[in-house]
Amino acid sequence: MKGMLKGLGVTMKTLGSKKVTLAYPDVPIDMPDRFRGIQYFDPDKCIVCNQCVRICPTECITLTGKANPDPEKKGKVIDTYDINFEICILCDLCTEVCPTEAVVMTNNFELASYSRDELFKDKDWLFGNNTNVREDNNNIGSPKGGAK
Amino acid sequence: MQHFWDQPLSWGTAAIFAAGAVGVLAFVLFFVTYAIYFERKVIGWMQYRKGPNRTGPLGLLQSVADVAKLLLKEDTIPKKADKGLFVLAPVLAFVPSFAVLAMIPYSMNLQFADLNVGFLYYIALSGITTIAIVVGGWASNNKYALLGGMRSAAQMISYEVPLVISVVGCVMLSGSLNLREIVESQAGYFWQWNFIPQIIGFAVFLVAAVSELNRTPFDLPEAESELVAGYHVEYSGFRFAFFMLTEYVYVYAIAALTTLLFLGGWNAPAPQLDFIPGILWFFVKFAFIVFSLFWIRATFPRLRVDQLMGLAWKVLLPLAILNIFLTAIGIELMR
């Protein structure tokens, strides 16, 4: 009997308390900074090292490079860079391994679409995905350019 | 309304009766629409949610949209169902729930039929709904529906007994089964309302009433998480809507009855407050009872089926009988 009255008290107290419902589709959700969302890709920083492709557990990243158009400089620049979000598991490994932070995580997560083709994102789309980019991309404090 | 009953029936009085019935129906439909909305809101608030708020301003059109959906749905009847009974059951359930509203007095002069056995009339008619539930469960030709219907019949018949006996105390105090006279005998300050002198009867009545309504914590006939959906598994569309409607019309009837029998009906809590019209007092108390039903639903878990019958016959019934004896002793001593 006492427990039942206590229960009624609890529900009555809850009635006036702050609600946890988020106005989600109307108001975007603020994700914490280490959220693993859709990658942002900066072609200027990419050195075509291919590490992201090799570490990707689902092999969803494909890239091709081309010779640097400036004949003075050595190395390659990125030509195409695609991530297939049908199979990407947003595991954060590609951004972790990237030595130049050319590919980093953002807080965006809305990928639903009407067609599977729309889930195949190319270089330009990923470059355009430049909102809510993760701020701290080196949170373990590893030396810049890798350990010597 | 009452003086029309004393005149011989003519086309004119018949038209007035029909208009009155349509008026009550419209009011009850309005009540049901917003009782469902209010129930979802209250339960939402009690679970840290906001409740429906997308359809119309503040979600006020949510129930309207839900009912429209039910009415537009395809009308399905299972192939092996007993067609006649299957169609009859929702009608048989709804008609008595609406007919019991005739005897509810809202204030001193606003009442459709001033029956001198008002409460008995309610019990007699609400029993027919039990039959409709069994019929619906049987006619569906579905084992879950049949089990739900049987459970429901067992529960409703068992709890009707303490429900009726708990009211006997009230009837003894006022010396009448007429609801208007029961209310009049409670006039005065609020401690003269029956819920204090009849505190045991009031408690038994509340528990038995929640059970009669098949609402949580006594919603075993439906028990959406245990049975599939009880007696209305096979029902959809507007036939299902009728069962839902019946349930909420009974909420209306029981809330009105509780107000009349135990909370002094249209009497103000103190004679000094009589300048506020009685019908307002009636609906304030009525709304409080309806809210309490939702509050109880949001708080308590469902009873186990083996505790259900024990509660009715071993706890509520002896308490109700004890209440009768105590009331009789009280009347004898006060004389």
Residue A82 has pLDDT above 80, yes or no: yes
State whether residue A115 sits within 8 Å of chain B by CB. Answer: no
**3-class DSSP assignment, residue B194:** coil
On average, the pLDDT of chain A sits at 87
Tell me the C-alpha to C-alpha distance, in Å, between residue B323 and each of A85, A116, B156, B335.
71, 71, 21, 18
Q: Quick check: ipTM above 0.90?
A: no
Which tokens in the block code for residue A143?
């030396």
Which chain B residues contact residue A7 at CB under 8 A? Answer: 299-300
Which tokens in the block code for residue A140?
């373990």
Report the residue from A12, A16, A21 with minimal CB separation from B50. Answer: A21
User: What's the pLDDT at A144?
Assistant: 63
User: What's the pLDDT at B316?
Assistant: 92
- Measure the CA–CA gap between B222 and B215, rounded to whole angstroms: 9
Question: Given an 8 Å threshold on Cβ–Cβ distance, is B48 in contact with A14?
Answer: yes
State whether residue A12 sits within 8 Å of chain B by CB. Answer: yes
- Measure the CA–CA gap between A53 and A92, rounded to whole angstroms: 12
In the block, residue with structure tokens 């990707």? A56
Which chain A residues contact residue B300 at CB under 8 A? Answer: 4, 7
What is the pairing mode between strands A61-67 and A76-84?
antiparallel
pLDDT in tens, A65-81: 988 888 888 888 899 99
Contact criterion met (CB below 8 Å) for A42 and A102: yes
Question: Given an 8 Å threshold on Cβ–Cβ distance, is A21 in contact with B42?
Answer: no
Report chain A's C-alpha Rg in angstroms.
22
Quote the distance between the C-alpha of residue A142 and its chain's center.
Answer: 20
User: What's the pLDDT at A71?
Assistant: 83
B300 to chain A, closest Cα gap in Å: 8
pLDDT, one tens digit for every residue, chain B (335 residues): 666 777 777 888 888 888 888 999 999 999 999 999 999 999 999 999 988 988 888 889 999 999 899 889 888 888 888 888 999 999 999 999 999 988 888 887 777 777 888 888 888 898 898 899 889 889 988 888 888 888 888 888 899 999 999 999 888 888 888 888 888 888 888 888 888 888 999 999 999 999 888 887 888 777 666 667 778 888 888 888 898 899 899 999 999 999 999 998 888 888 888 888 888 889 999 999 999 999 998 998 888 878 888 888 999 999 999 999 999 999 999 87
Contact criterion met (CB below 8 Å) for A145 and A99: yes
Q: Which chain B residue shows the shortest CA-CA distance from A5?
A: B299
Test mutation, B43, B46, B295, B297, chain A, max A CBs within 10 A: B46
Q: Long-range CB contacts (< 8 A, 24+ apart) of B314-322?
A: B316/B159, B316/B162, B316/B166, B316/B204, B316/B207, B316/B208, B317/B161, B317/B162, B317/B165, B319/B162, B319/B166, B319/B200, B319/B203, B319/B204, B320/B162, B320/B165, B320/B166, B320/B168, B320/B200, B320/B201, B320/B204, B321/B165, B322/B200
In the block, residue with structure tokens 């039903």? B293
Which chain B residues contact residue A12 at CB under 8 A? Answer: 46, 295
User: What's the pLDDT at B83?
Assistant: 87
- Helix, strand, coil distribution of chain B in percent, nearest 5: 70, 0, 30
What is the pairing mode between strands A103-105 and A39-41?
antiparallel
Question: Given an 8 Å threshold on Cβ–Cβ distance, is B49 in contact with A8?
Answer: no
Q: How confident is the model at residue A56 (pLDDT cuts 50, 70, 90)?
A: very high
User: What's the pLDDT at A125?
Assistant: 92
